[in-house]
Amino acid sequence: MNRLITRYRTACMAVVVSAVVALVAIAPHLSVSHAAPGALWSERTVSAPATTVPAPNWVELTKALKPAVVNISTKRVQEGAQMQSPFGNDDPFQQFFKQFGGQPQRRTVRSMGSGFVINSAGYIVTNNHVVENATEILVKVDDGRELPGKVVGRDPRTDLALLKVDATGLPVIPLGDSSELQVGEPVMAIGNPFGLERTVTTGIVSATGRVIGQGPYDDFIQTDASINPGNSGGPLINAHGQAVGINAAIFSQSGGSVGIGFAIPINQAKSVVTQLAANGRVTRGWLGVTIQPLTPELAKGFQVPGGGGALVSSVQDGSPAAQAGIKAGDVVTEYDGHKLAQPGDLSRLVAATAVGRQVPLTVVREGKTMSLQVHVARMEEPDQPAVAKAEQGKEPLGLAVETLTPEVSRELGLADARGVVVRGVRDSSPAEKAGIRAGDVITELDHQPVASAGDMKRLLAQHGKGAPVVVLLHRDGASLYAAMSS
């Protein structure tokens, strides 16, 4: 997707809102009323029933909720370019630079983002990219205190993180039901855009179910409520005074709001944050299939009535899908009682399935409908996948890349798990001008092997200014070189 999706990284501030929430599953000594057993929060409404959309009283809702928005400031150590001779490798003093200036320069970077309290015992939800790689986290709460923040757990795949501060009695925001959101419904965003604390903006839900190329579980709420860098991790509020989303990204060519922002649905966050609270990480279900969209032409060719579903392009040997009898060319139309409209529906449903559970699914094979049973296995994920996301105005090549792990390779249907996969390309960037696309796999940079996002970052830091950056790409089974101006 050749759009500039700017993630609100820690280059901005944090905000949160208030109301009433409960936590039971986090620790044995925590018990709050208004929450069902095992729930992390309460889901009671502030005003009207969830079946209607009342005319919002933003003034009163702002007074009630703004105190639960927090400011998250972080510190991280960043490596800069290492010293090199200005006369190139042929300079007789190049060895001097390698010996005494060859180590990358390290510097401390401070940045800010938003978050909001979901439990009065000090549990705070924010984006993963707000706290990723942070060596120090400070959370500023409504009464002005700055408290050290501890990361309870992070999930890079959904860009969510759960923090804990040593405080009690904090104001909280109740969580709503994002599945009930309607296009055109009024919403309010609270955050710290450009460091302007506790800023409130309003708008409507522009669309739901948006896929913006950020990962396999994209299901974003789109809104025209003004969202800018610094709003990351702040809540998107409905007219009932409930958090229905977590602001996470914007579409922009300037780095500022153009009326298209994206929030993670709160229903997706509930299951993720509950697991982070209990285990510090997320366990997902896995089938072992590679899927692709079912175009109208493919639906006709595979004789799928209605055209909805996920087309299986490959099945991994020995996987749960293979054991269940799923084959390449099958079209999965229903999973565990849920009809599939898009391939992403299957990815999200499988990920949310308890490991070891037997699930019924329906496939269309050669025009015939079949019912199968599959035992869902556990998806193997790296503890902390190395991700280097492009930032507007900060990443000169305009690339967002992710280390190609075995799981990501399976997701993309690749035989080799070496290199980095391009997750995004910024508009008008050197990468776009060189013809690089999302989904390309980079295995070499400047004729040096690239095995991870860290390797790529290191090689770019060593690259001499002025010379083009040459990369070896793998795309659709073929290899090609591309050169980007640095």
Active site residues: 129, 159, 232
- Neighbour count for residue 106 (Cβ, 10 Å): 9
- What is the C-alpha end-to-end distance of the chain, expressed in Å? 22
- DSSP-derived secondary structure for 238-271: ETTS-EEEEEEEEE-SSSS--S-EEEEEHHHHHH
Rounded CA separation 67/169 (Å): 12
Rounded CA separation 424/249 (Å): 13
Q: Work out the angle at residue 264's Cα, subtended by the Cα atoms of residues 123 and 226, and round it to the nearest 5 degrees.
A: 100
- Beta bridge partners, 401, equal 388, 422
Contact 390, 400 (CB under 8 A): yes
- Helix intervals (H) in 15-57: none
Residue 205 in tokens: 């839900």
Contact 482, 465 (CB under 8 A): no
Residue 43 in tokens: 């889901």
Picking from 219, 35, 214, 17, the residue whose alpha carbon sits closest to that of residue 126 is 17
- The CA R_g of the chain, rounded to the nearest whole Å, is 23
Rounded CA separation 275/298 (Å): 38
* CB burial readout 414-428, b (16+ within 10 A) else e: beebebbbbbbbbee
Rounded CA separation 408/450 (Å): 16
Contact 213, 189 (CB under 8 A): no
